[in-house]
Amino acid sequence: MNNAADHLSFDMALERYKEVKSKPFRINESDTLLQDYHPDYAADQTTNLNIGVNKGEHCVTELASILQADSPFDSKSICSEEFVDVLVIGGGGAGCVAALSAAETGSNVLIATKLKLGDSNTVMAEGGIQSVVNSEDSIQQHFTDTIQSSYFRAEKEVTAKMIQNGPESIRWLIELGMKFDTDDDGNLLVRKGGGATFSRVVYFKDYTGLELMRVLRSALSQSSISVLNHTPVVELLSDNGRCTGAVLLDLESRTLKIIRAKSVILATGGSGRVHINNFPTSNHIGATADGLSLAYRLGAKLRELDSFQYHPTGIIYPESLAGTLVTEGLRSAGACLLNAQGERFVDELKSRDIVSAAIIRECENGRGVELSSTVKGVWLDTPELEKNKPGILKNQFPKLMSLAKNNIINPTKDPILVYPTLHYQNGGICIDVNGESTVPGLYSTGEVSGGVHGKNRLMGNALLEVISLGRVTGKHAAITAKDVDYGEVGFSHLDKWRSERQQLCKDNNEVAPKLFPTYFNFRY
Ligand SMILES: Cc1cc2nc3c(=O)[nH]c(=O)nc-3n(C[C@H](O)[C@H](O)[C@H](O)COP(=O)(O)OP(=O)(O)OC[C@H]3O[C@@H](n4cnc5c(N)ncnc54)[C@H](O)[C@@H]3O)c2cc1C
């Protein structure tokens, strides 16, 4: 840590917080806040794609390099071949939901996943699932909130389907045995997410994702679905423009296996571990944009490749926890953000892009709490929340309170130092209302797909997408599979790709999917 005179130790910063805390509010959300401070709007962060179906479009530089990379695939080393009706790639929430729904039709379903089933962003989700559950709220209002917060970029038909199916999807989860927090009469408790008109985020403490994965895993264990752990997909197969399966890498034996499938569902999640703009991330270790690179090489159209969500409250101190998420549920419950002068500077329940830009503004203009040249942030005032609502942290936020159990920070006594953390990929693979991509036979669901969040996602809408559209996608992929035969094991898309790369991407020496972040030193 830098000890320069104008930097503070964490303890000194805490003392100052106690001295200045009672200052008045200075809420300031100028019209140019996003343009001036949100990383998505920085002109030098994007480049134009040189090859592929999105050629000529803007893409953040780090992702462009991955999308235009070569395949690791070498046909000489294939060891075995298997046939399934539906291949699901990814064992997080979306993959499990889609697989369960596909299997309900009687199809033969296989999940291939990079890590162990459930190791994913889903399992870490905290705040909850956004869906209409109260009579004063409406599907129309949820739709309007979502479209508005997407800056009118969300794809309307797919978004409408996701929201309409929301209440039924929550019922489905309850039937699977998922627990939600309820009042004494058994009514679902709801939180208000930033940018939403009504409180409609249902949750289980700050462990919603863990509880969700618990019931999905349990349902899978009682189904006929097969699971291959530690077996990431490294290339897709094609036959006359249709996706016909995938090539899997067994991480233990380092051998390649072919899975021939009538429908393929990509559910590989997001890309936080690409650390766009050098941000720390809240994402799990496998979030390396694999699905985007696989789909793009096969010819699937992608969207909003220049739009990412930086969640306002990522922990920045201690540095070992950098990027770890502190749920929006705390701000929803009333926790305020304070700068180094003890001032509130933004309405904490504005949408995430605005709150994040406001935090960055405070820090760039010398009003942040500065522990070193790289560790700057603002306070999330959890002690004040606890003072106003005694017991709330222990009762509603046990995951956060585990920081105190482990003697890291005690949020009932000390505020948490936070800064935006790279959290979510707003865009992804273009899909239709059935979850099918622009490549026949290739479906996509969950965070890897794009369309329902436009340029900014509402709290709880990612898990809604996972469940609501995951079910639709699984079902349609399985129904389609009933009417098609197995295609050939083809790689013509790869030949075309490699020749395009040779002409237009000579300087790109990358190989993707990356599978793990660069600091893992993984080699094919
Ligand atoms: C800390 C945190 C908290 C969050 N809280 C909330 C919340 O409260 N509410 C909300 O709506 N959203 C929340 N989100 C976002 C939401 O959890 C995710 O967007 C969503 O769970 C993604 O689900 P998914 O199944 O698409 O991806 P994931 O759950 O990440 O699953 C992707 C799976 O694909 C596997 N995979 C990746 N590459 C390959 C490959 N090449 N081959 C095979 N398998 C592969 C991964 O190992 C993983 O198992 C949160 C996210 C994080 C990180």
Q: What is the pLDDT along the chain (524 residues), one digit of tens a residue?
A: 344 446 778 888 888 887 776 555 666 666 799 999 999 999 788 999 999 999 999 999 999 999 999 999 987 778 889 999 999 999 999 999 999 999 999 999 999 999 999 999 999 999 999 999 999 999 999 999 999 999 999 999 999 999 999 999 999 999 999 999 999 999 999 999 999 999 999 999 999 999 999 999 999 999 999 999 999 999 999 999 999 999 999 999 999 999 999 999 999 999 999 999 999 999 999 999 999 999 999 999 999 999 999 999 999 999 999 999 999 999 999 999 999 999 999 999 999 999 999 999 999 999 999 999 888 999 999 999 999 999 999 999 999 999 888 878 899 999 999 999 999 999 999 999 999 999 999 999 999 999 999 999 999 999 999 999 999 999 999 999 999 999 999 999 999 999 999 999 988 999 999 999 999 999 99
Tokens representing 459 are 């709290």
Side chain identity, residue 269:
G
In degrees, to the nearest 5, what angle opens at C-alpha 392 toward C-alphas 391 and 396? Answer: 125
**Does the beta carbon of 269 sit less than 6 angstroms from any atom of ligand 1?**
yes
Residue 6: per-residue pLDDT: 62
Q: How far is the centre of ligand 1, averaged over its atoms, from the C-alpha of 387 (Å)?
A: 34
**Does the beta carbon of 447 sit less than 6 angstroms from any atom of ligand 1?**
yes
Tokens representing 61 are 């530089």
**Does the beta carbon of 209 sit less than 6 angstroms from any atom of ligand 1?**
yes
| pLDDT tens, residue by residue, 45-94 | 899 999 999 999 999 999 999 999 999 998 777 888 999 999 999 999 99
Query: Quick one: which of 444, 422, 480 has its CA closest to 63?
Result: 422
Neighbours of 447 (CB within 10 A): 31
Residue 456: per-residue pLDDT: 94
Tokens representing 117 are 């089933």
- Atom index in ligand 1 nearest the CA of residue 445 equals 26
**What is the rounded CA–CA span in Å between residue 79 and residue 365?**
58
For residue 83, what are the β-bridge partners?
Answer: 260
Residue 2: per-residue pLDDT: 41
Active site residues: 311, 331
Residue 23: per-residue pLDDT: 58
Query: Distance between terminal CA atoms of the chain?
Result: 36
**Does the beta carbon of 263 sit less than 6 angstroms from any atom of ligand 1?**
no
**Does the beta carbon of 283 sit less than 6 angstroms from any atom of ligand 1?**
yes
Residue 4: per-residue pLDDT: 47
**What is the rounded CA–CA span in Å between residue 189 and residue 63?**
39
Residues 275 and 281 sit within 8 Å (Cβ to Cβ):
yes
Q: How far is the centre of ligand 1, averaged over its atoms, from the C-alpha of 441 (Å)?
A: 23
- Which residue is closest in CA terms to ligand 1's atom 17? 122
Residues 241 and 299 sit within 8 Å (Cβ to Cβ):
yes
Residue 302: per-residue pLDDT: 98
> Rounded to an integer, what is the distance from CA 300 to the centroid of its chain?
20
Tokens representing 436 are 């099918």
Q: How far is the centre of ligand 1, averaged over its atoms, from the C-alpha of 367 (Å)?
A: 34
Residue 374: per-residue pLDDT: 84
Tokens representing 382 are 């959890």
Query: Quick one: which of 404, 408, 448, 407 has its CA closest to 322?
Result: 408
Ligand 1: which of 89, 97, 122, 397 to mutate, judged by most atoms within 8 Å of the beta carbon?
122
What is residue 93's three-state secondary structure? helix
Residues 287 and 272 sit within 8 Å (Cβ to Cβ):
yes
Query: Quick one: which of 128, 89, 85, 127 has its CA closest to 107?
Result: 85
Tokens representing 476 are 């349609």
Residue 29: per-residue pLDDT: 65
Q: How far is the centre of ligand 1, averaged over its atoms, from the C-alpha of 154 (Å)?
A: 20
Q: How is the chain split among helix, strand and coil, in percent rounded to 5?
A: 35, 20, 45
Ligand 1: which of 97, 117, 121 to mutate, judged by most atoms within 8 Å of the beta carbon?
121
Tokens representing 406 are 């482990």
- Which residue is closest in CA terms to ligand 1's atom 37? 268
For residue 233, what are the β-bridge partners?
Answer: 248
**Which DSSP state fits 39?**
G
**Does the beta carbon of 426 sit less than 6 angstroms from any atom of ligand 1?**
no
**What is the rounded CA–CA span in Å between residue 120 and residue 217?**
13
Provide the sign of the torsion angle of the four alpha carbons 241, 242, 244, 247, taken in this order: positive
**What is the rounded CA–CA span in Å between residue 211 and residue 226?**
22
Query: Quick one: which of 403, 6, 419, 461 has its CA closest to 194?
Result: 461
Residue 462: per-residue pLDDT: 98
**What is the rounded CA–CA span in Å between residue 315 and residue 418?**
5
**What is the rounded CA–CA span in Å between residue 420 and residue 58?**
23
Non-local CB neighbours of 356 within 8 Å, separated by 6+ positions: 38, 310, 311, 312, 420
Query: Quick one: which of 100, 98, 73 has its CA closest to 268?
Result: 98
Residue 43: per-residue pLDDT: 79
Residue 9: per-residue pLDDT: 86
> Rounded to an integer, what is the distance from CA 296 to the centroid of its chain?
19
Burial class (CB in 10 A: 0-12, 13-18, 19+), 331: buried
Ligand 1: which of 268, 310, 422, 449 to mutate, judged by most atoms within 8 Å of the beta carbon?
268
- Tell me how far CA of residue 468 lies from CA of 95, 162, 446, 452, 471, in angstroms: 12, 5, 10, 12, 6
- Which residue is closest in CA terms to ligand 1's atom 50? 125
**Does the beta carbon of 245 sit less than 6 angstroms from any atom of ligand 1?**
no
**What is the rounded CA–CA span in Å between residue 23 and residue 18?**
11
**Which DSSP state fits 511?**
B
Residues 92 and 120 sit within 8 Å (Cβ to Cβ):
yes
Residues 104 and 83 sit within 8 Å (Cβ to Cβ):
no
Tell me how many helices (H) and strands (E) the chain has: 16, 20
46-53 — which CB contacts under 8 Å span 24+ positions?
46/306, 49/305, 50/504, 50/505, 51/497, 51/500, 51/501, 51/504, 51/505, 52/296, 52/297, 52/299, 52/497, 52/500, 53/296, 53/299, 53/300, 53/301, 53/302, 53/438
Residue 31: per-residue pLDDT: 74
> Rounded to an integer, what is the distance from CA 491 to the centroid of its chain?
30
Residues 336 and 312 sit within 8 Å (Cβ to Cβ):
no
Neighbours of 381 (CB within 10 A): 24
